[in-house]
Amino acid sequence: MALLGKATKYLGAVANHKLDQGADPRIQIEQAITEAQRRHSELAEHAAQVIGAHHQIQLQLARAQSDAQRLQSDARQALVLADQARAHGNAVKAAGYEQTATVLASQLVTAESTLEALKSQYGQSEAAAAQAKDVVDSDSQHLQQILAHAPGC
């Protein structure tokens, strides 16, 4: 059984070799160029997706930084207002502001956690985007070399 399989593979390889020998070199070159162009297009599309994802993370990171800064500022303001209310003898209003500051501080902890996760994702996506760009640039140079050495191009 194994011998039959080997013989089939051998005959297939011999047939492919004969077909390759008889094929027009110009057609083979055109096929190689077409395949290189197709591969380059796929790489460029993939790189665009990776770079787009990086940009989305960049926007999310900026938004998260802004949210964290706003929450921190609002919490400080609530504490200042609580101090002012207490200084004016209004303990009920001071307690309300302190409660607000506590809620904002809790939201700030969550926002800072999200911010740290996005910073990590940003670093990873930045490296992936740079790598994708390098791969496309390298493949573009390779494609240009193929086209430059192709007869009739």
pLDDT at 152 over 80: no
pLDDT at 59 over 70: yes
CB atoms within 10 A of CB 19: 9
Q: In whole angstroms, give the CA distance from residue 50 to residue 56.
A: 10
- Check residue 128 and give its pLDDT: 94
- Check residue 48 and give its pLDDT: 94
Give the residue-averaged pLDDT of 99-123: 96
CA count, 13 A, side-chain hemisphere, 76: 6
- Check residue 47 and give its pLDDT: 93
With beta carbons less than 8 A apart as the criterion, state whether 26 and 152 touch: yes
Tell me the whole-structure pTM to 2 decimals. Answer: 0.68
Residue of 9 and 131 predicted with greater confidence: 131
The tens digit of pLDDT for each residue in 9-48 reads 766 776 666 656 666 778 778 888 888 899 989 989 999 9
CA count, 13 A, side-chain hemisphere, 33: 16
Give the residue-averaged pLDDT of 45-56: 95
